[in-house]
Amino acid sequence: MARVKRAIMKNKRKKKILKLAKGFRNARSTKYKQAKQGVIRAGQHAYAHRRKKKRVMRKAWQIKIGAAVKNLQGISYSRFMDMVTKKEVGVDRKIMADMIENNPEAFARFVEEVTGEKNTGEIPTVGSDQKAAPKKQPKPKAKKEEKTEDKKETPQVAAEKSDTKDDLTKIEGIGPKIAETLTAAGVSTFAELSKTDSDKIQEIIADVRGNHVSDTWPKQASMAAEGKWDELKAWQDEMDGGKEN
């Protein structure tokens, strides 16, 4: 007896599941077992949401019909629908909502036929009589009056303005913590450090843990401020943690 081969149908079933799982994340779109679970779960959600959509749409139609009837004759939605039911009019809520949106005049005539009374109002339409309230434009901020006088800056003033925070860690013996402490104390540039004596520096860094010798820092900062980087580098190579050998 010939052996029955089921590989073709098995692969066909797998391809069908993987095709339905296309677009799922991670292994749900590539592994058969995970893909099958994902497809089943997606189907359950689709079943529930198809029915939820019907409820949401019906609620939207009710709101639209109720607002239109209230504007036309001042009656409630439930009372109007009771009249429609008793007269056995073959127009459902979906058609009424579509009439309100696309043909409000026809819906107004329909309401008159159902109630047997003339309309006392009209359905407001977007862009007809209702104009959007103009948006309040923010008041322009008053510009500060710029001084027209051209002040001539001396080289000293220009240098002071151009001074920014220097990288004090380039000084041999100064680490990030000490540089942060000096900056907080108002010593943030090489020029300022060169003008600060060793005793003052020791007072500033007294709270920093460790034994720090700052005798050479002002001179190093002076050389850095003057741009003598080659000489400073050669001198630092001879130092040991900021100390002169």
Domains detected in the chain: 9-115 (1.10.1900.20), 161-244 (no CATH)
CA–CA dist 7, 4 (Å, integer): 9
Beta strands 243-244 and 239-240 are antiparallel
Give residue-wise pLDDT tens across range 165-188. 788 788 887 888 888 888 888 888
- Whole-number pLDDT of residue 149: 46
Q: Residue 79: is its pLDDT beyond 70?
A: yes
- The pTM score is 0.43
pLDDT bin (cut points 50, 70, 90) of residue 226 is: confident
CA–CA dist 24, 9 (Å, integer): 24
Give residue-wise pLDDT tens across range 88-106. 888 999 999 999 999 999 9
Q: Tokens in use for 55?
A: 């409820």
